[in-house]
Chains A and B, each alone.
Chain A
């Protein structure tokens, strides 16, 4: 028999290494020949889109477009350490470091412009499309390109650093402020469970993710779809079949991950509520996007068939076993 059910799952997720461990990101910004700007930063692009998001944060701060910035992030001899691409910390921590470095760079550019434009102070200077401009007398302006020509031997650069604020927890009580900031989300799904085969079909999925502010909504949606798919595998198929320390399912013909046919359209909602300490309010979402999905599916299965599944994954075999056990318990 096919039975339908709905379920919801919610979660919170604390960003960063946590527990007072020094969580530091650094960046250096340099004016390059031709007036382009180089951001040197050990941020890793693992597919999540950090390279693009970091350039967006830099461009925003320097009044440029993403096309004017080169991110140098591949070679340890050229870039400062910005910590790991993990703990959902790059957008928040490294984004902050890049923003600080770009703000410092803005000051450097103003100082140089003050000299070249023969001004008394840097007051009133702004950055606009690759130029330093005196906002109330715009005839006074000088381009990044011109500055790079004048200062070709004395490179214009600035650094920036961000240290996350967390505290160690008390060893006996666990009291403390271990992470910051926290990110929130909620997912609701409708499933159909076939009680004859144990197959769980997803019919609908709605997923809302708090991002503080979305640096790049398309990238964020891509993370939400990807997190959903990974969680779907976690909930319904993935099993290494460990036996005496050996993985029996040790390749893709045996360890099944979701294909395009297993995935469904996910109705994605981005919730924005800018976080004060974050770069332009943006919090990380890389890990949170997989968390509330499996719980929503499990609650929907219960809603459909009245059996609480306490062990993942809910493969057809495992579900049939649970159904049989529930029936046996009922008869006893």
Chain B
């Protein structure tokens, strides 16, 4: 196929505006008659709350302090389960959960009011370890079980696989909770157009989803809500859940003035999701000729205090748990679990970044037992065109994994170095 534009190193169309400093992110937009917002967040991981805004409201320059009572329609949102409250009403389930949104003439006014907000916390038993959270007697975060999701993968016959395996390796791997650390902290503006359309200016990964949530919370039809997506200063999954969109829309609708909010870096850290930490118990077996015969894994992912994408992330982890290898007998169980930790959600790789920490080390451990070069061992077992995955899917097209491995082997001289070390 002769291509003229695809395949060419076209210069990024947004590069010039970015190197000249002209590219606008939400924090760069200043509107006439604009006021500022500040989010009040929980400082406790699990507690019943009572909020007293009476002193804060008296601060000169405060326009309004929004709480759950001010949300016109549903006080909830969430990409899969609606388990975030727009503002916590009775209890908080994590540090950083929004409780109120102060709007004042200046940022200084908001700061002053912030100090005068009184939140009475009645601590509840909390749970931070997902394994403990799975127990029946553990404190419950939402509803009557902390187990959000259990994915089961059953392929072939595990007992037969064990019988066929001359070498078996078994390990428990743990991956940490980490932060996206994009460079542009969350910021946004809300304002009203003349016809009453509520506009939210934000940097988001999915403007139409934001529109849907805002419309539901405000009780407006979707065509009365407009999301303007500016330049986005990095995302990596952390701009999929709602941040300030609903607060800004609500404040603009009620106050009929442009409202701006900018998160500090510390606020950004506690406001958005994190990568799911996972505990991954693996058993992998190969026969004497170096062919994989079975794999068994139990994977527990800490979803923190909200579901966000936990179901999809643990599903993806489960599907990718084998790695890109043909294994005839597979049993995988993955669990997504609520705790009172910071909530976890989408982050680059989405569950498929965690499991290779386990399966790739299992591969090397097996190769060592077999006395094989890890590349040679992989080449015996990898997916190729026509291979079947553990979910029974046939890879019918474009499976150039062999070429990827051969390319790095050749360039690093891996196999040659391996022989020399031996």
Contacts and interface: CB of A to CB of B under 8 A. Distances in A.
Most buried by A among B154, B171, B230, B398: B398
A82 B10 CA distance: 23
A9 to B, nearest CB: 5
Interface in B169-202: 171-179, 181, 197
Contacts of A85: 205-206, 235
Contact of B357 (A56, A71, A84, A295): A295
B412 interface: yes
B312 interface: yes
B9 interface: yes
A242 interface: yes
Interface stretch (B101-109, B287-295, B341-349): B341-349
B401 A10 contact: yes
A249 B80 CA distance: 29
B301 interface: no
Contacts of A51: 12-14
B400 A210 contact: yes
Interface in A42-95: 42, 44-47, 49, 51-52, 55-57, 59-60, 63-66, 71, 73-77, 81-87
Contact of B361 (A73, A212, A242, A295): A295
Given A18-B312, A81-B208, A85-B235, A247 B342 contact: yes
B6 interface: yes
Given A44-B229, A292-B360, A83 B407 contact: no
B154 A308 contact: no
B174 A312 contact: yes
Contacts of B356: 9, 11, 291-292, 294-295
Contact of B407 (A55, A214, A269): A269
A296 B126 CA distance: 37
A218 B6 CA distance: 12
B342 A245 contact: yes
B4 interface: yes
A274 to B, nearest CB: 7
Interface stretch (B28-36, B50-58, B61-69, B317-325): B317-325
Contacts of B178: 233-234, 238-240
Given A173-B154, A213-B7, A294-B356, A302 B232 contact: no
Q: Which of B172, B236, B315, B395 has the most CB of A within 10 A?
A: B236
Given A45-B231, A56-B6, A6 B393 contact: no
B269 A251 contact: yes
A8 B324 CA distance: 14
Contact of A6 (B7, B11, B418): B418
Interface in B377-422: 378, 382-383, 390-393, 395, 397-401, 403-405, 407-409, 411-412, 414, 417-418, 421
Contact of B320 (A13, A216, A246): A13
Contact of A52 (B10, B175, B332, B399): B10
Given A49-B12, A216-B8, A257-B181, A177 B393 contact: yes
Contacts of A187: 408
B206 A84 contact: yes
Interface string A175-190: 1111101101111111
Contacts of B207: 42, 44, 74, 76
B206 A86 contact: yes
Given A11-B323, A76-B211, A310-B174, A19 B315 contact: yes
Interface string B312-340: 10011011100110000000100000011
B221 interface: no
Interface in A156-187: 169, 171-179, 181-182, 184-187
B300 interface: no
Contacts of B390: 174
Interface residues of B, number: 116
Contacts of B228: 74-76
Contacts of B383: 12, 182, 184
Contacts of B45: 244-246
Contacts of A49: 12
A299 to B, nearest CB: 5
Interface in B153-170: 153-155
Contacts of A267: 411-412
A44 B404 contact: no
Contacts of B223: 77
B269 to A, nearest CB: 4
B176 A251 contact: no
Interface stretch (A105-113, A118-126, A131-139, A281-289): A281-289
B5 interface: yes
A204 B46 CA distance: 46
B71 interface: no
A206 interface: yes
Given A8-B375, A10-B405, A64-B5, 18 more contacts: A6-B412, A46-B205, A52-B11, A65-B5, A66-B10, A74-B207, A74-B228, A75-B226, A173-B152, A177-B393, A213-B7, A240-B179, A267-B411, A276-B398, A287-B353, A291-B352, A292-B360, A299-B374
Interface of B: 1, 3-14, 45-46, 94-95, 126, 128, 151-155, 171-179, 181, 197, 204-209, 211, 223, 225-237, 239-240, 265-266, 269-270, 274, 312, 315-316, 318-320, 323-324, 332, 339-342, 346, 348-350, 352-353, 356-357, 359-361, 364-365, 374-375, 378, 382-383, 390-393, 395, 397-401, 403-405, 407-409, 411-412, 414, 417-418, 421
5 contacts: A8-B414, A44-B204, A60-B5, A77-B223, A280-B1
Enumerate the 10 nearest inter-chain pairs by beta-carbon distance, A residue then B residue, closest first.
Answer: A245-B45, A295-B360, A174-B153, A84-B206, A12-B324, A184-B401, A275-B398, A186-B404, A46-B235, A273-B400
